[in-house]
Structure 1
Amino acid sequence: MHFPEIQPRKSLYYNYEIYPYFHSNKNTLAESDTVTVVGAGPIGMATALLLAKQGIKVILLSAEQQLSEGSRALVYTKRSMEILQAAGVADRIMTKALAWTHGNSIYKGQVAFRMASPIHDNDQFAPLNNLQQNWLEHFLLQTIKEQKNIEVRWGNKIVAHQQNDEHVTLTIHTPEGEYQHISHWVVAADGGRSPIREGMKLRMEGASYEGRFVIADIRIKLDYPTERLAFFSPDWNPGNTILMHREPDNIWRFDYQLDPEIAPEDALKPENLNKAVNDQLKMIGQDHLEWEMDWSTVYSARALTLDNYVHNRTIFVGDAAHLLPIFGVRGANTGFQDAQDLAWKLAAVVKGWSTEKLLQSYSFDRVGAAREIIAEAGKSTRFMAPPTAGYRLLRNAVLSLSLEHEFVRPLYHWRTSRPHAYTHSPLNSQNDDNALMHELTENGALIPNIKFADGSFLYDAISGKFAVIMFTQNGQVPENLISEINALKQFGIPAQLIALAIDDQKVKQADISFTIDPNIVKDCFFADVNTIYLVRPGQHINGRWLNYRENAITETFHQFTQVAEGVNA
């Protein structure tokens, strides 16, 4: 039997609710059009919502009977918010989240480097947004409850996992005992200590760093703007790093590095936590203020990934697939990108318009993303928490020089998480004009988001479907292009034609038509009249043409799967 904690977690700002557990006296069998998602954290919930948006039924399993504790995944990038917008939850999140743009690196009381994240007129969300994970899950769950095709099973702990070429059998423990659940597909979103991954004896590759950090969430009224504060080698914690982030509800998060000889259990003793917080407040001249401890934990900086995320009928996302350092806000933000890429591909397989071969591209694309992030994050981690004496000597030299020499200050840059470009994806068109067009909108990159005159955004129009975007004039679209897209639709592929008119003449034959400023066409899309972009459901460019070529789009779909070869334009 499994007995999750049924006493509501204590919090100074969030009221936890206990959800009724699910138990079945007989084994349950998911229908063929249903996906089982294991893990109801942010990535599991987002995956469930994105699958539901694709018309897939989802059974979402949680070992707990309440939401997670503390701030945890705190900072969400613009890209994550765009994905959460596609999931239908971003508006709720932004009623609570704190948007910000700047980060400060401080040494000996001086701001040695101030990082600014740019904002553009066409941005739908701020570059960075702070919200405690429990609040994020709260809004995700609210949205899930509105979906008729998502069933949440609380208090269901996976204790065994078996699979064959047809289905996956999960043995589940609940407060009433055991039952088995059989599903054709299982998405493992069960976290960094993934029981499914461990049960399958899958090992990650990469590096674990020596640096350990305490997270302390405290309630205090500090009159500081919402900006990231990083303090390097302060007097009270010499040689180490301290981060501060403002959270909603007068909560502030302190992340402070531990000396190697301090055990995590000792660091979390109330007297040691209190001393660290008081020392930090004293250093910034705020030790006269009253404060309360809300939550604390210890984490280590790790940069690890599986080399394959698809194992027969079990697919890994988020921390179950990779463990990334938090420096540069990479953990959950990378997981949301996993969820978005997986959702449309798995939906294509479940709905039958693609074969299972399409899932190989999920692993190729997202493992490639994780490895890129690990290489980039390693630089940040080695500066924030030097793993060797040599790296510490280099960091100390940068700190010292930065007080008087501006040229070394950019070395503080924390390399914020950015969207991965699927430049080498096997899905990218092999018969287009990619090589002849501007590299900033190359295949695999995100299509630029545009705000239209009516206040709507391009991303809202193209989320969840393949979008054939054509720049038009005089309302003209080739008839063969319309016929080709209709043939794709008849085959079950979620395709749509979006016309972006550089004049006021909208295209009646298009699914959606907008008027667009010719300057935006040139400056953002590097395009001209008759240029065509094929965009994935996840907003990444899949192919591009200077002019329409008959059957070129259908031939691109032939790369996805043998099934699509049955489409006749």
Structure 2
Amino acid sequence: MSRPFKPYPFSPRYYEGVVPSLVDGRDPLRRSVAIVGGGPVGMTLALALARQGVRSVLIEADDGVCTGSRAICISRRSLEIFKRLGVVQGFLQKGLPWTGGRSFYRDTEVFRFAMHQDDEQSLPPMINIAQYQIEQLLLDEVERHADLIEIRWQTRVTGIEQHAAEGSRGNLESTGGATLALRTGDTAWQMHADWVVACDGGRSTIREALGLKLTGTTYEGRYVIVDIELDSARATERLAYFDPPSNPGSTVLVHKQPDNVWRIDYQLRDDEDPEAAVQPENVMPRVQSVLDSMGETGAWSPIWITVYKANALTLERYRHGAVLFAGDAAHLVPIFGVRGANSGIDDADNLGWKLACVVNGVASPRLLDSYSDERVFAARENLSYGMKSTEFMAPPSFAFDLMRRAVLGLAEHHAAVRPLINPRQTHAIAYVKSPLNEAAGDVADAFKQGPVPGTVLPECRLKRTEDGVVVDIHLTDLLGPCFTALCFGPNANANDASAQHTAWQPLQTTLAEQGIPFKAVMLVRNDTQNATSSNVIDHTGRLHDMLDATPGTVYLIRPDGHVHARWRDGSAAATQRAISTALTT
């Protein structure tokens, strides 16, 4: 059976490789930040820096966005990041939201899971959207910031040399930046940057040039990934088939994407040759059998085929002098649980505000070590979950295979074993051991509950008065690319609102003069929803309860949405000390 390959229902733009004006083979401009790799992680980082007024240059080897669906699931946490970057609406308009999935053993459903979703949420727990669409949405926003973000297309890195700062006696931790050796077409040239961020993927040129190695586990099992075009009214959900009659001995994953594109991943047997397995004549019958078993009878056409091997690997550190690593250049996470692109986007969010503070001169470069500490910890957490999912999806040994068959066989009639089939979907990682938590002087013992320093805020519906009209908002609407103090007051009358604002105004002015992004938000608990108040109103009291907040409570939130510190009786002075200590430690 042979079918012609169809193009994606997508029209990418293509870009020429242009060399800047050179002096003796060098770009005469000294760059603050050079980002190697213009995929989702690199572009997210460039946008995060731009929101802080920091210029960057993106160096991309290709001539446009990627080919193939690749990363296809964007989590709520990533959507929250895109919301703070002002780009989330495109994702919500294009992506297909979903809240759970089903797993089948042979022809019987054995497990069903649902991710957290209630009326308090402003964003879905997950959306399906192909990586080329992710990149295009980010690129559209990047091009709107052309004054701060420059892109060098069709430009490859061929080498890198780091420089120690003057008087540092060769110590690269006292960085003097780095020089990148580049090639655009037939032209070899050099660029100097104070900071270089490697977002250049699993085969990172920067990582190889520095002689760094990923450590961890590589799994032998391989999956064929196929994108097809199929018009179907089937609901969007994650579908997993273990040992299906259509493909005995295989595990199959199915995801619906926008524009009638479907993603089908199926496991190869140990005795199958990966090169032969991706030949169309071998792929088409397998895909047809999967669709037949699902009851999908519509016409379909193949679009893209590749093969994937699971890895659970990470660098030991993500900062090496003037060079920082993010995304797949820093860690390779199995696809099961959709932690790959999402963890890279979280890397960019964490690094963006810290690097911006360093470039803008308001923080010590030591702040970047906390990026490495926090994101290496997060990577190990993600790898732990990803390895458990991988060992179930693609058993690495006879013992794991025996365990899986036992679980699947029992699951139909024994609910107690069904959670073992859980794919462990990605979730926000709490930096519970972050050095920044210590710098903040945590007084969490004063609280009975609520998010401790290092964790991400929960979502909650609130109300706010705008031009005399009370409107519905969410807690995440209050956060931006800045430190945010959530200050809880006694009630919603106008006098209290004015007094609160007056108390915090000097700090806002002081930090603004220092170039530190900050705002204070006044929250009150008042069921009457006084429309004359300028405060944010927790009209149901839910946020107060979740954060164990009483009058005088202050939560200080970092620019990446993680809790930095909290006080039962907070003050502007304590908030200023916590921010100052974090930026200078």
d(CA) in 2 for partners of 1:206 and 1:298? 21
**Could you say what secondary structure the match of 1:17 adopts?**
coil
In structure 1, the residue matched to 2:127 is 129
TM-aligned CA deviation for residue 21 of structure 1: 1.4
**Could you say what secondary structure the match of 2:141 adopts?**
helix
In structure 2, the residue matched to 1:154 is 153
Q: Is the 8 A contact 1:506 1:515 kept in 2?
A: no
Q: Is the 8 A contact 1:23 1:176 kept in 2?
A: no
d(CA) in 2 for partners of 1:143 and 1:432? 37
Q: Is the 8 A contact 2:440 2:564 kept in 1?
A: no
d(CA) in 2 for partners of 1:505 and 1:471? 16
Distance 1:95 1:480, change over 3 A: closer
In structure 1, the residue matched to 2:13 is 17
Distance 1:550 1:339, change over 3 A: closer
Q: Is the 8 A contact 2:79 2:123 kept in 1?
A: yes
In structure 1, the residue matched to 2:115 is 117
TM-aligned CA deviation for residue 361 of structure 1: 0.3
Correspondence 1:386 to 2:384: no
1:245 to 220, 239, 255: 255
State the superposition RMSD in angstroms. Answer: 2.0
Ranges of 4+ aligned residues in structure 1 off by more than 6 Å:
505-508
d(CA) in 2 for partners of 1:218 and 1:532? 51
The one-character-per-residue Cα deviations of 1:153-200 (angstroms, maximum 9, x if unpaired) are 111111111111212111111114111111111111101111111111
Aligned residues: 550
**Could you say what secondary structure the match of 2:461 adopts?**
coil
443-452 or 250-259, which deviates more: 443-452
Distance 1:124 1:521, change over 3 A: closer
Distance 1:17 1:550, change over 3 A: closer
d(CA) in 1 for partners of 2:556 and 2:532? 18
TM-aligned CA deviation for residue 550 of structure 1: 6.6
Distance 1:113 1:440, change over 3 A: farther
442-451 or 354-363, which deviates more: 442-451
**Alignment map for 1:335-484 (pairs within 5 Å):** 335-428=344-437, 429-453=439-463, 454-473=471-490, 474-475=496-497, 476-477=499-500, 481-484=504-507
d(CA) in 1 for partners of 2:539 and 2:179? 54
Distance 1:316 1:439, change over 3 A: farther
**Could you say what secondary structure the match of 1:265 adopts?**
helix
In structure 2, the residue matched to 1:3 is none
Distance 1:38 1:404, change over 3 A: same
TM-aligned CA deviation for residue 558 of structure 1: 4.0
**Alignment map for 1:224-235 (pairs within 5 Å):** 224-235=234-245
d(CA) in 2 for partners of 1:472 and 1:250? 50
d(CA) in 2 for partners of 1:10 and 1:191? 27
In structure 1, the residue matched to 2:192 is 182
414-423 or 436-445, which deviates more: 436-445
Q: Is the 8 A contact 1:71 1:132 kept in 2?
A: yes
Unaligned runs of 5+ in 1: 1-8, 564-569
In structure 1, the residue matched to 2:92 is 94
2:545 to 503, 523, 527: 523
Q: Is the 8 A contact 1:533 1:545 kept in 2?
A: yes
**Could you say what secondary structure the match of 1:299 adopts?**
strand
d(CA) in 1 for partners of 2:82 and 2:294? 36
d(CA) in 1 for partners of 2:532 and 2:542? 19
**Could you say what secondary structure the match of 1:371 adopts?**
helix
d(CA) in 1 for partners of 2:21 and 2:513? 42
Distance 1:76 1:354, change over 3 A: same
TM-aligned CA deviation for residue 30 of structure 1: 4.2
TM-aligned CA deviation for residue 436 of structure 1: 2.1
In structure 1, the residue matched to 2:562 is 540
In structure 2, the residue matched to 1:193 is 203
d(CA) in 1 for partners of 2:56 and 2:530? 42
Correspondence 1:296 to 2:294: no
d(CA) in 1 for partners of 2:219 and 2:243? 18
TM-aligned CA deviation for residue 348 of structure 1: 0.4
d(CA) in 2 for partners of 1:99 and 1:430? 37
105-114 or 324-333, which deviates more: 105-114
Partner amino acid, structure 1, of 2:348: A
d(CA) in 2 for partners of 1:506 and 1:356? 45
Q: Is the 8 A contact 1:431 1:552 kept in 2?
A: no
Unaligned runs of 5+ in 2: 164-174, 464-470, 491-495
Q: Is the 8 A contact 1:477 1:507 kept in 2?
A: no
The one-character-per-residue Cα deviations of 1:507-532 (angstroms, maximum 9, x if unpaired) are 99xxx841222512333222111110
Q: Is the 8 A contact 1:481 1:548 kept in 2?
A: no
**Could you say what secondary structure the match of 1:416 adopts?**
coil
d(CA) in 1 for partners of 2:389 and 2:107? 21
Q: Is the 8 A contact 2:523 2:536 kept in 1?
A: yes
1:491 to 514, 532, 535: 514
Distance 1:399 1:506, change over 3 A: same
TM-aligned CA deviation for residue 431 of structure 1: 2.8
The one-character-per-residue Cα deviations of 1:74-129 (angstroms, maximum 9, x if unpaired) are 00011111111122211012211100112100112221111011212221211110
Distance 1:238 1:154, change over 3 A: same
d(CA) in 2 for partners of 1:205 and 1:552? 41
**Could you say what secondary structure the match of 2:225 adopts?**
strand
Partner amino acid, structure 2, of 1:184: D
Q: TM-score, normalised by structure 1?
A: 0.93
Q: Is the 8 A contact 2:196 2:324 kept in 1?
A: yes
**Could you say what secondary structure the match of 1:456 adopts?**
strand
44-53 or 481-490, which deviates more: 481-490
Partner amino acid, structure 2, of 1:238: P
Correspondence 1:216 to 2:226: yes
Q: Is the 8 A contact 1:432 1:552 kept in 2?
A: no
Distance 1:534 1:549, change over 3 A: same
**Could you say what secondary structure the match of 1:304 adopts?**
strand
In structure 2, the residue matched to 1:5 is none
Distance 1:495 1:505, change over 3 A: farther
Distance 1:277 1:520, change over 3 A: same
In structure 2, the residue matched to 1:566 is none
**Could you say what secondary structure the match of 1:106 adopts?**
strand
Identity of aligned residues (%): 37
The one-character-per-residue Cα deviations of 1:389-434 (angstroms, maximum 9, x if unpaired) are 1000000101111122222111110111000111111111553421
In structure 2, the residue matched to 1:74 is 72
d(CA) in 1 for partners of 2:157 and 2:239? 40
**Could you say what secondary structure the match of 1:547 adopts?**
coil
In structure 2, the residue matched to 1:567 is none
